A and B are shown apart, each in its own frame.
Chain A
Amino acid sequence: MSQKQYWSDLQDLKNIATKTEVADNEFKEELPFDLSDSVFGATTPRRDFLKFLGFSTLAATLVSSCEMPVRKVIPYAIKPEDITPGIPNYYASTFVDGGDYCSIVIKTREGRPIKIEGNEMSAITKGGTSARVQASVLGLYDKARLRHPMADGKEVTFDAIDRVIKEGIAGKPGYLVTGSIMSPSSKEVINQFLAKYTNVKHVVYDAISYSGMLQANEASYGKRVLPGYHFEKAQTIFSLGADFLGTWLSPIEYSKGYSVGRKISAKNPTLSKHYQVEAIHTITGAAADERATCRPSEMGAVAVALYNAIANGTEPALKSAALNKLVKSAAADLKKGNGMVVSGSNDVNVQIVINAINDKIGANGVTVNWVTTSNYKQGIDKDMADMVAAMEAGTVGAVMLHGVNPAYDYLDGKKFAAALAKVPVTVSFAERLDETAQKCKYIIPDHNFLESWGDAEPRANYYSLMQPGISPLFKTRAFQDSLMVWMDANQTYADYWKLYWVTRIGSQANFDKALQDGVIEPAGEMANGTLAFVGNVGAAVSAIQAMKPASGVEVVVYQKVGIGYGGAWSNNPWLLEMPDPITRAVWDNYLCVSPKRAKELDAELNGFNEVETKKKVAKVTGANGYTVNLPIIVVPGMHNDVVAIATGFGRDAKVGRAAASDATKGGKNAYPFTAFNGNTVDFYSNVKVEKTTELYEVAILQTHSSYEGRPVIHEFTLAKFKEDPKELQKERGAEMSHFEHEPWDKNAHHGGEALATPEMEDGYRKNGTLYPVQPFEGLKWGMSIDLNTCTGCGACVVGCMAENNISVVGKYHALRSHEMHWLRIDRYFSGMPDDPDTIQTVFQPMLCQHCDNAPCENVCPVSATNHSSEGLNQMAYNRCIGTKYCANNCPYKVRHFNWMDWNGADAFADNLFEDDRRDDINDDLTRMVLNPDVTVRSRGVMEKCSFCVQRLQDAKLTAKKAGRPLIDGEVRTACQQSCPSNSITFGNVNDKESEIYKLRREEQVERTFYVLEHIHTMPNINYLSKIRNTGAIVAGNEKLDGMFSEHI
């Protein structure tokens, strides 16, 4: 068939040939070049020759000298629906990692998830996030993720593998091992699978086990569940080793609740009272009003003493006076009602006593909810132990492992691995070649949660839907799909899941709405209720009292806020570089010891060795003979007979480049120090700690622990604050009052007391300088940070990294204080170093203060940093020549220089910094996480917090397009949005209706202060003073604050 001829007009139709001619002669004028055969024979040879010469020389120079960049941007041939370049899309979804839960919104740009925000529609997490949730988006692009199914280490197809596995799991007894599963539809799938394969048992295994609590609740209330905790309703909180703000059960949810009771103003001067008894120093302990330490093995005794003090009014007779005092006072407060007791112990008896206390003080149905229970953890330690025994016995035909890694995190990983070797069919659904997956015959990698459909029921009747932000990057398959294939279900999990929810909530419309919202929740207030306590306290108390009294040194196996139990987090460079809130160390785990114990190990903490990066190494030997050598990090507030090692380190090289460990890097595995007590796993054990002559460098981003009593932080006791809320205003007034008016003004202050007020601030702004004051009309950005609610959890630090493409520098440069975090959280200890019970800890998020009279701005020789009309201190990266003068002159030290080519953004070839651990961050895959709205800074320029200027611009533009003024709360900074305790307020201070205006001028006048106000930097960030519900503030007191008087 001949080619069809199209015509555009009638003339065209008549003579198609004419058209061709016209088309050929489109360019009527001759091209200026004479393209005859001979250059010299042409009409104008000389000029053309010169043209050719010039052009070819230039072309040759360009081609030979410039490396042509490889462009990988592919324009859309057909634009996908909903994706407009430059416009982000948001999808409500759910973050689930074992028992960790957060309702989230995924921000995608050009089809790739780049940021996770909290979902404010969730009644559970209420828009809060954690460092791990913030960092989870990086996990999606983890280079160590498996890219295809494998059998015996070789790539295979799903079909091939399915056939073999189906044969393999039939017959002999098998096990399906999973972490705690919150997903109702997945549970349904598992049940159907178990119904089909009756020889397979389902074992739930949690690396960090809450088995003791589950079993105790079963014994006390007849239900093997975890209750819901309402910290927002608690007047008195007693935590026995539960790090509920950092790592215990559902820290985001609890932080949100807890912060409610920690909000305080002069008008409403009430605070919850928080007692914390713990062995190590956690961020929860740092937030506590009263804190005392005990050995982990004494937790039971403390619980019993508290129980007796409440039930019978018995005087506590514990090992330390501080503990006795604390328990007595807590007992009295708990009896007042609205109390709550939580415990991090994994011992059934301890948890029974805790249940009895909650029952006695009437917490059940008020602060402890037995109706809307929690599903976070479901694993029973005994089940796992039994399974390992069966595997060892060789009676098991198949083991399928999903979301668990016992070869690494089981108390005896080696034993597990050996037992696994005896099982003929081993299947792992691991997303990476972790310690367990390596030992499995078949690996069918599961999707990342950002690629998955799914759901979760974190609390009874509170559901959350999971939808993908991107189609699967690799040849992976949903774990549920694998089960469904093996049970010959002729449906995918996604379809099944959709049908499941459409059926459950009635209609497609309801489903669409739910998917959009991300959550399905009952209307109204959360159902609450109690259960009758039927536990045998007597037996539990006697069991506790029968325990062998503790002696020697005990090790606590704890989770870092960032890395947690390990898993994928061990290989997350953002989290590895997020300083531990308490130790401020990065990239390693270590042996946390008290200052007193450190002295015995010749690793005394003092002003001189704090700057020494090479730390003394101690040898720790467990009861089972397990030995590790770890550097000693001194942590004030640790019990003197307790040492602590964090989990999540000592990983295998195949877990990922960042996680890989050996003698020189990556820390050591702490799990082998846990012990099975016959029923549950104890996350502590007796150890021997010995000195060695070895040294090991640990990168600690903050070396000095005391704030030296400087007015950088202001702390008051609740009693003092109630008595004189204006104390801080007086202190500030003493500094500023001279400047409120000009000296010759009749109202001028000449000595005497004066209260700092917003009016005085205005006067100080004007009269504290010789220069004219810049007026700020229209928008003027300001931020307030509440030191009372800040728990130091680090969600903002990682949130900022994700939003602003902050480079990861790696351990070597962290050791040299070359880190790039725009937002850091300074942690200050006060109290007597030798007495852990006296330690008070405070956190201070520190970021660019956006000074209106910024010291950095006037020293830059090229004006690369300057002030905007909206009060922003801005950086023009392209103008920066890198003299570092601004960083020197910044009193807050929040400016960060690009010391090396961290990310390949500079013009030099092959000078990318590589340390073999952080390098995957620059992989093409990982770079997909970069926020396209934020410049990736090149080597040699200064950078710092921009108040998320890209968000400000975006919000302003939206408002402008809509033809309306910006609405307060419409724009939020990344740190503010990620904060699980609502500590950050941000907005336009010129808007009298704004939250920030009201806070500074009305509600929190008494607590407002600016850091280093007296040097007239005029910061745009204010802080709210810390109010502790305790007897005395030790910081800055020569007698009570040894950290201050010894300057450590």
Chain B
Amino acid sequence: MHIKYESFVREPLVDGNKTYHQVSEDIIAPIERKPGRMWYIGFFFSIILLLFGVFSVSWSVYWGLGTWGVNRTIGWGWDITNFVWWIGIGHAGTLISAILLLFRQGWRTGVNRAAEAMTIFAVMCAGQFPIWHMGRVWDGFWVLPLPNTRGPLWPNFDSPLLWDVFAISTYFTVSLLFWYSGLVPDFALIRDRAKTKLRKRLYGIASFGWTGTAKNWQRMEALALVLAGLSTPLVLSVHTIVSFDFATSVIPGWHTTIFPPYFVAGAVFSGFAMVNTLLVITRKILGLEEYITIGHLEAMNKIIVLTGSIVGVAYLTELFMSWYSQSWGEMEAFKWRIVGPYWWSYWAMMTCNVVSPQLFWIKKLRRNIPFTFIMSIVVNIGMWFERFVIIATSTYRDWIPGSWAYYSPEWPEVGFYLGTFGLFFTCYFLFAKYFPVIAVAEIKFVLKTSGDNYKREMLAIEEKSAEEFVHEVEASHHEDHAVAHH
């Protein structure tokens, strides 16, 4: 429903008859009761996947990376593809919490908590790949600029891989802080409602003695703004730096100045898709349809169609630039990407990322939940292929035809990838059980302006004629002035 004096796009952000208490009830109750069957099944499978991942990684560390399919020509395969993919997914959370906060997008409140959690878990997953793809992982700490007795010998600050180390660790730290600071008032709420001693104690520790005073709120808001300011450039910088891994190289298909914006757009694209995947499931399982509304999903879908189109333009620009450069290395690299033995990966990318999201121009589809769910999966398949296309199909036919090769993953690489799903969902299931999946405090913040029931209360005013309304407003102004004069 819409109000006369409000844009028709402003639909309620919270549906149903919600009071502040009801909001607390709806969101905190799942934490206080035993989880349902679905939770146990999901958690079990996640753990199984995680263990398989641990096994696969142990196998490759013990025997060597020859258990993988990567080779002389294609030194990075599924490992770095998955790394970039997860990092990309990890962009949505911070974007939603930081940039949308700065833009005062009220609708973010319904989705930001889950999205931020997803970001943190995705970055954790992403971080596994650069670690375990090292040939001598036990010496991996050499990338850290630690004081040492080896000379001292410092890392090579020219290397984009080193920049990655800093970019990702910074991003992870800031995202974690942002997420946690938002959780503090909600933890306090759980603490206050807690009926068992242990819960009271643990959430008490977690909520840092939050009492909900005005000072508390003021500081919390200030911190949120500071962190939002800090993480906004990070959203852009992390994937920019990840893209430098490729952009600073001499391999055609990698050596591309368009990469930073292209990677960032792609990251937001895939991140939003992943948030959609999770939200569709979460709202259903935890019964939060009234908080995560179709309106929310539609807003997400709009960003997906926007970023999908940006990514599409980037793909076409790449092709144009390779032709426009008239450099044989560039032209050939893109030719082999499209028509070479890996043609299917290029076309999978194009179909999933550029063609299919265009369907979101249709409002009906944007608001269709099954379709949104399918598309969110399709987009992430497409984005996985984008990374594969960039990484594997640039190196596989590069400068010297005599060294061209082909690559298919071996089971430990696949197992590693599945293992990160295990890690991700294990974390997510724990999160869904023990943490409020929706930011209670923030929802309450928008409840009275954007809640369905509060909007309905406005109907009485709506029915008044314009003159009547103006009169009333002026009358109230007079009263105010009178009070002020006295």
Contacts and interface: CB of A to CB of B under 8 A. Distances in A.
B340 interface: yes
Interface in B335-372: 340-341
Contacts of A887: 72, 75
Given A859-B249, A888-B75, A940 B398 contact: no
A884 interface: yes
A702 B64 CA distance: 24
Given A861-B162, A911-B63, A939-B135, A892 B399 contact: yes
B134 interface: yes
B70 interface: yes
Contacts of B155: 861-863
B72 A893 contact: yes
Interface in A758-775: none
B140 interface: yes
A880 interface: yes
A76 interface: no
Contact of B159 (A860, A891, A941): A860
B72 A891 contact: no
Given A891-B251, A897-B65, A900-B63, A817 B405 contact: yes
Given A859-B249, A897-B65, A900-B63, A940 B399 contact: no
Contacts of B139: 881
Given A818-B71, A883-B134, A940-B136, A888 B403 contact: no
A939 B64 contact: yes
A881 B72 CA distance: 16
Given A859-B249, A861-B156, A891 B135 contact: no
Interface stretch (A19-27, A363-371, A706-714): A706-714
A415 B140 CA distance: 62
A696 interface: no
Nearest to A940: B135
B381 to A, nearest CB: 23
Nearest to A613: B406
Contacts of B66: 813, 816, 818, 899-900, 913
A882 B139 CA distance: 9
Given A892-B403, A897-B72, A884 B135 contact: yes
Nearest to B159: A861
B159 A899 contact: no
A887 B403 CA distance: 12
Contacts of B397: 704
B159 A858 contact: yes
Interface in B429-465: none
A940 B159 contact: no
Nearest to B143: A861
Contacts of A906: 64
A879 B161 contact: no
Contact of B76 (A888, A900, A901, A941): A888
B401 A704 contact: yes
Best-surrounded residue of B76, B136, B395 (most CB of chain A within 10 A): B136
Contacts of A828: 401-402
B312 interface: no
Interface residues of B, number: 55
A797 to B, nearest CB: 13
A607 interface: yes
Nearest to A938: B136
Interface in A731-788: none
B401 A712 contact: yes
B133 interface: yes
Contacts of A816: 66, 69, 71
A826 interface: yes
Given A611-B341, A883-B134, A707 B72 contact: no
Interface in A688-727: 702-704, 706-708, 710-712
Interface string A894-910: 01111111000010100
Interface string A56-79: 000000000000000000000000
A901 to B, nearest CB: 6
B330 to A, nearest CB: 11
A897 B397 CA distance: 19
Contacts of B64: 898-901, 906, 911, 913, 939-940
Interface string A838-865: 0000001010000000010011111100
B176 interface: no
Contacts of A1011: 400
Nearest to B328: A710
A895 B332 CA distance: 23
Interface residues of A, number: 63
Contacts of A899: 64-66
Given A818-B66, A862-B155, A898-B135, A827 B402 contact: yes
B245 to A, nearest CB: 8
Nearest to A894: B403
A819 B62 CA distance: 20
B395 to A, nearest CB: 6
Nearest to B79: A884
Contacts of B137: 881
Interface string A867-889: 00000000000011111110111
Nearest to B245: A885
A899 B68 CA distance: 9
A941 to B, nearest CB: 6
A796 B116 CA distance: 58
Best-surrounded residue of A844, A893, A906, A911 (most CB of chain B within 10 A): A893
Nearest to B248: A859
Contacts of A911: 62-64
Best-surrounded residue of B66, B72, B140 (most CB of chain A within 10 A): B72
B402 A707 contact: yes
A824 interface: yes
Contacts of A891: 250-251, 398-400
B40 interface: no
A884 B75 contact: yes
A713 to B, nearest CB: 10
Contact of A882 (B62, B67, B136): B136
A313 B480 CA distance: 124
A889 B245 CA distance: 10
Nearest to A906: B64
Best-surrounded residue of A884, A887, A900 (most CB of chain B within 10 A): A884
A859 B160 contact: yes
Contact of B156 (A860, A892, A1012): A860
B142 interface: yes
Contacts of B133: 883-884
A900 B133 CA distance: 13
A435 to B, nearest CB: 34
B136 A893 contact: no
B135 A880 contact: yes
A897 B135 CA distance: 8
A735 B397 CA distance: 23
B402 A881 contact: no
B249 A855 contact: yes
A420 B160 CA distance: 69
B227 interface: no
Nearest to A809: B66
A1015 interface: yes
A608 interface: yes
A887 to B, nearest CB: 4
A889 B253 CA distance: 12
Interface string B137-160: 101101100000000011110111
4 smallest A-B Cβ distances: which pairs?
A: A882-B135, A826-B402, A940-B135, A899-B66
Given A861-B161, A885-B75, A889-B249, 11 more contacts: A707-B401, A710-B328, A712-B401, A858-B158, A861-B159, A881-B137, A881-B139, A881-B142, A888-B249, A900-B64, A900-B65
7 contacts: A707-B402, A859-B248, A861-B162, A881-B135, A889-B251, A939-B64, A940-B134
Interface of B: 62-67, 69-76, 130, 133-137, 139-140, 142-143, 153-156, 158-162, 165, 245, 248-251, 328-329, 332, 340-341, 395, 397-406
